[in-house]
Homo-oligomer: A and B are copies of this chain.
Amino acid sequence: MNLDELFNVNSVCLVGASREEGKVGNVVLKNLKKNFKGEIILVHPVADEIEGIRCHKSIDSIPHPVDLGVVSLPSVKALEAVSELAEKGCKICIPVAGGFGEQGEEGKKLEEKMREISDRSGTRIIGPNCVGVIIPRIGLNTALTSGDKSEFPSDGPIGFVSQSGALGLLAMDEFTDSGIRFSSFVSLGNEIDVDETEMVRALERDGQTKSIALYLEKISEIDEFLKACRSASEKKGIVVLKGGQTESGNRATSLHTGSLLKTSFSLRGIFRQNGIIQASNEIELIDFAWALSSAKPVRGRKVAVVSSAGGVGVIATDILEMQGFKVNRTSDQLAGKIKSMISQIGSPFNPIDMTAEATNIQYENVIREIDKSGEFDSILAFVLFQTFGVTEDIIDFLDRFNRTSSVPIVVGMIGGQYSREIFRKMTQRGIPVFPSIHRAVGALSALYERGEFLRRFER
């Protein structure tokens, strides 16, 4: 069956629901109930209802078809449930419990049997030993974390695939809080059927996904994976965080997800050739994916830096130049125009320092003038809201400029609660904004790498 059905699930059957607070079967049920827009069906051998939802005694006794089966039962029982769900024509099954291949030979045999069920029936299986999926557009959440302790993300452009359920959920929680939105989160677990390659293909086809972020510890079939990325990356940005690149890290992945990847070759080079941008930590993974989905690719190294704080311009310039960008001086003509627009004590050369006297209209005028000049390949604008002249009214302009300008823009911010609230409004509007100097520069680097990759197809 088609994995794409995941984005359109209308009914979920939970096998192994529990009424006991804190138990996996209870946590999953509460998370499912909280936002899911479709029907929830429970299966329980004795209970009549749990959390206000009627229970069926068996899978067999459910009178209608089921799109998705979530199985929260220990390994042997999970296998039985998956088998029954498959017989019923269930499209996708997610066994969330562990106790399979990661536990040794017995578990591997169970996995083999589960794989056979999938092959025979066509039911797709995500997992086992995973936290499952989150599909914001339909409110689907099969995860195990406490819903009271983390936020449910809004529908958005980033497709997130992780070989560590916990790492994925932690990163989602952090970025959801700053307004970053996701088309999907898929925890792959032991990958007896659906793997990273197939998820890349499914996310390539999904219209709402604009960039793909993957946390990977193993890559089952590297050639197939690269081929899938190569194809997807013609349309969408792909970012990979590869866990286990050092000797001790690799030892750790073998204990965590049960497999080793020999990385004697240079991953970075192979990744780059296939349109994959490498992240070095969980923040870069989502930052880069956000940049790739919200900003235009950058086609050259010349950056105009605009700021209302001289020191911010200086540090941004240092970091940019250290990463191979050029913060070259504005032409006399452009400098003259900018000089007439900003405070007398500001600097119209690059980095452009509008000083604390900067206003929304100054930001707008300067940014537009840079765009018109054609002197730069991108604009890095630090919009700092702590002064009097800059207000959130500037969001409209930044949104419009980001969508219509000829030069790509990345916005940087620094600050506490007041800033963070505006930050969230910006991400919700789809503005490529980042909360520190080096993270803003990092985003620009990812956009430059994307621009370089796309250039190949234009020759």
Shortest distance from the beta carbon of A438 to any chain B beta carbon, whole Å = 4
**A46 beta carbon closer than 8 Å to chain B:** no
**A319 beta carbon closer than 8 Å to chain B:** yes
Q: Which of B244, B257, B281, B308 contacts A437 (CB 8 A)?
A: B281
CB-CB under 8 A for A167 and B243, given A145-B387, A150-B418, A321-B249 = no
**A22 beta carbon closer than 8 Å to chain B:** yes
Shortest distance from the beta carbon of A133 to any chain B beta carbon, whole Å = 17
Pairwise interchain contact A170-B345, C-beta atoms closer than 8 A: no
Residue-by-residue, is A356-376 near B (CB-CB < 8 Å gives 1, otherwise 0)? Answer: 100000000000000000000
Pairwise interchain contact A256-B313, C-beta atoms closer than 8 A: yes
Among A27, A170, A243, find the residue whose CB has the most chain B CB atoms closer than 10 A: A170
**A428 beta carbon closer than 8 Å to chain B:** no
Pairwise interchain contact B151-A416, C-beta atoms closer than 8 A: yes
Residues of B within 8 A of A165 (CB): 356
Q: How far is the CA of A171 from the CA of B75 in the complex (A)?
A: 51
Residues of B within 8 A of A385 (CB): 149
Residues of B within 8 A of A334 (CB): none
Q: How far is the CA of A430 from the CA of B310 in the complex (A)?
A: 32
Q: How far is the CA of A163 from the CA of B310 in the complex (A)?
A: 10
Pairwise interchain contact A417-B177, C-beta atoms closer than 8 A: yes
CB-CB under 8 A for A98 and B246, given A166-B312, A170-B415, A414-B282 = no
Residues of B within 8 A of A248 (CB): 317, 320-321, 326-328, 350-351
Pairwise interchain contact A311-B166, C-beta atoms closer than 8 A: yes
Pairwise interchain contact B311-A386, C-beta atoms closer than 8 A: no
Residues of B within 8 A of A1 (CB): none
Identical chains in the assembly: 2
Pairwise interchain contact A149-B418, C-beta atoms closer than 8 A: yes
Residue-by-residue, is A380-418 near B (CB-CB < 8 Å gives 1, otherwise 0)? Answer: 000011111000000000000000000000000011111
Taking CB atoms and an 8 Å cut-off, the chain A residues in 227-278 that contact chain B are 241, 243-249, 251-253, 255-257
Q: How far is the CA of A165 from the CA of B148 in the complex (A)?
A: 40
Residue-by-residue, is A298-330 near B (CB-CB < 8 Å gives 1, otherwise 0)? Answer: 000000000011111111011111100011110
Shortest distance from the beta carbon of A390 to any chain B beta carbon, whole Å = 9
Taking CB atoms and an 8 Å cut-off, the chain A residues in 41-87 that contact chain B are none
**A452 beta carbon closer than 8 Å to chain B:** no
Residues of B within 8 A of A247 (CB): 321
Q: Which of B149, B166, B384 contacts A166 (CB 8 A)?
A: B384
CB-CB under 8 A for A419 and B314, given A246-B322, A437-B282 = no
CB-CB under 8 A for A388 and B246, given A166-B309, A353-B255, A437-B282 = no
Q: Which of B22, B241, B251, B282 contacts A388 (CB 8 A)?
A: B22
Pairwise interchain contact A149-B314, C-beta atoms closer than 8 A: no
Pairwise interchain contact A281-B315, C-beta atoms closer than 8 A: yes
Closest chain B residue, CB of each to CB of A349: B255
Residues of B within 8 A of A353 (CB): 252, 255-256
**A290 beta carbon closer than 8 Å to chain B:** no
**A445 beta carbon closer than 8 Å to chain B:** no
**A164 beta carbon closer than 8 Å to chain B:** yes
Residues of B within 8 A of A103 (CB): 345
Pairwise interchain contact B252-A317, C-beta atoms closer than 8 A: yes
Closest chain B residue, CB of each to CB of A99: B345
| A residues at B contact (CB < 8 Å) | 22, 27, 98, 102-103, 144-146, 148-151, 162-171, 173-174, 176-177, 215, 217, 241, 243-249, 251-253, 255-257, 280-283, 308-315, 317-322, 326-329, 345, 347, 349-351, 353, 356, 384-388, 414-420, 436-438
Given contacts A173-B415, A244-B318, A251-B349, 5 further A-B contacts (CB under 8 A): A171-B414, A177-B415, A252-B310, A256-B311, A280-B438
25 contacts between A and B (CB under 8 A): A144-B356, A144-B387, A148-B418, A150-B386, A166-B308, A167-B309, A167-B311, A167-B315, A170-B312, A170-B414, A173-B386, A173-B416, A173-B418, A174-B414, A241-B315, A243-B318, A248-B350, A248-B351, A249-B317, A255-B353, A256-B314, A256-B347, A256-B353, A281-B436, A282-B414
